[in-house]
Amino acid sequence: MLSNSEFDVELLLLDQVNKPLGVKKYTCFKTKAQGVHKYFEKLRRYYNFNSYLKASKFDYIIDQRYRINIFSEFVIQKVFYSKASIIIGIHSARLETYLPNNKTVANFLFKNVYKIICCSSAIKEKIENRYGMTNAICIYNGVDVASAGTQFSNQFEFDYIIAAGRIEPLKQFDKLILAYSKTNLSEIGVKLVILGEGSQMEECKTLVKQLRLEENVVFMGYVSNPERYLASALFLVLCSKYEGFPMVILESMCQSTPVLSFDLESGPNEVIVSGENGILVENQNFESLKVAIENLASNSVLIQYLKKNTAHTVERFSYIEIQKQWKALLGKN
């Protein structure tokens, strides 16, 4: 998003070897060298990273890494980043993957960074309440609204609800399948379509066989154009354990497809107004989720009402609007 404006953006990769998709300017510090002990490889990688930072003299460093090793963070924050304006990103309500649990340690490392960018207001408030930091702000993830209103042909010859994301324990696709199995959707001809891949794929497929739902649960794997499948769905279901700010909500609403979601600690309730542009269900209550899925799937009038209210919802999350906030932060407005 910033690279499409007047900023000169370079992506620095500490732990990735392969070329990132869609990125023109990047530098990888991890190598495929064989026969090198991982400890020495990491030392070499960090040395090269530090040398590159010194030579490049960046105006800002936007750090989007997980930060779970306190010793590594001390070196990076207090040595490598000592002469730069640092912005760190927090992308999940599970703060321990980004900040130390210990308040004193967290403040020592991050209290004086330029800004802590949170992808939701709930995360910002959580950081302020837990750590007492005053440098946290919320800038939402942006979405490409250009595809909003695009007419896609129906991808299937049947009605369906949809779920999308990495098929991992965090996303709870297995529990969604169980919830679907307890509804009457298969009886009224509404199938469940799942987009994505992950470590639980085979487990979920086995569960579908055990429940004898092979004809009603469709696994599409990874798709490069999810908007085509989102556009034709009755609604999207999101039932993760936790999130930061799930992009799939915006992507779905861009296609005028409402979202039925758990009312998670962070994310959905900052987009969804229940009963207006989607449905919020008590967090982690799968029985309530099952009832809500069944009720919404059988209420075409409500679905159409929710669809009408999705378009204006995503406008404030457009790339253009979010880019304005980044420009203001970086002094380019």
**Which pTM does this prediction carry?**
0.91
Strands 11-13, 278-281: parallel, antiparallel or unpaired by DSSP?
unpaired
Does the pLDDT of residue 333 top 70, yes or no?
no
Mean pLDDT for the stretch of residues 125-146: 95
- Which of 2-11, 90-99, 323-332 is the most confident on average? 90-99
Model confidence pLDDT, tens digit, residues 77-104? 999 998 889 999 999 999 999 999 999 9
Lowest mean pLDDT among 114-118, 147-151, 305-309: 147-151
Tell me which DSSP letter residue 80 carries: I
Query: Is 208 strand, coil or helix?
Result: helix
Question: What is the rounded CA–CA span in Å between residue 6 and residue 248?
Answer: 28
Model confidence pLDDT, tens digit, residues 60-82? 999 999 999 999 999 999 999 98
Phi/psi of residue 280, nearest 5 degrees = -105, 135
Long-range contacts from 294-301, C-beta under 8 angstroms, 24+ separation: 294/183, 294/184, 294/185, 296/234, 296/235, 296/260, 297/161, 297/183, 297/185, 297/188, 297/190, 297/234, 297/235, 298/184, 298/188
Does the pLDDT of residue 207 top 90, yes or no?
yes
**DSSP letters for 103-149:** HHHHHHHHTTSSEEEESSHHHHHHHHHHH--S-EEE-PPPB-GGGTT
CA separation (Å) from 120 to 133, 246, 284, 293?
16, 10, 20, 26
Mean pLDDT for the stretch of residues 281-289: 98
Model confidence pLDDT, tens digit, residues 219-239? 999 999 999 999 999 999 999
Does the pLDDT of residue 261 top 90, yes or no?
yes
Q: Which domains does the chain have, with CATH numbers?
A: 2-143+320-329 (3.40.50.2000), 145-315 (3.40.50.2000)
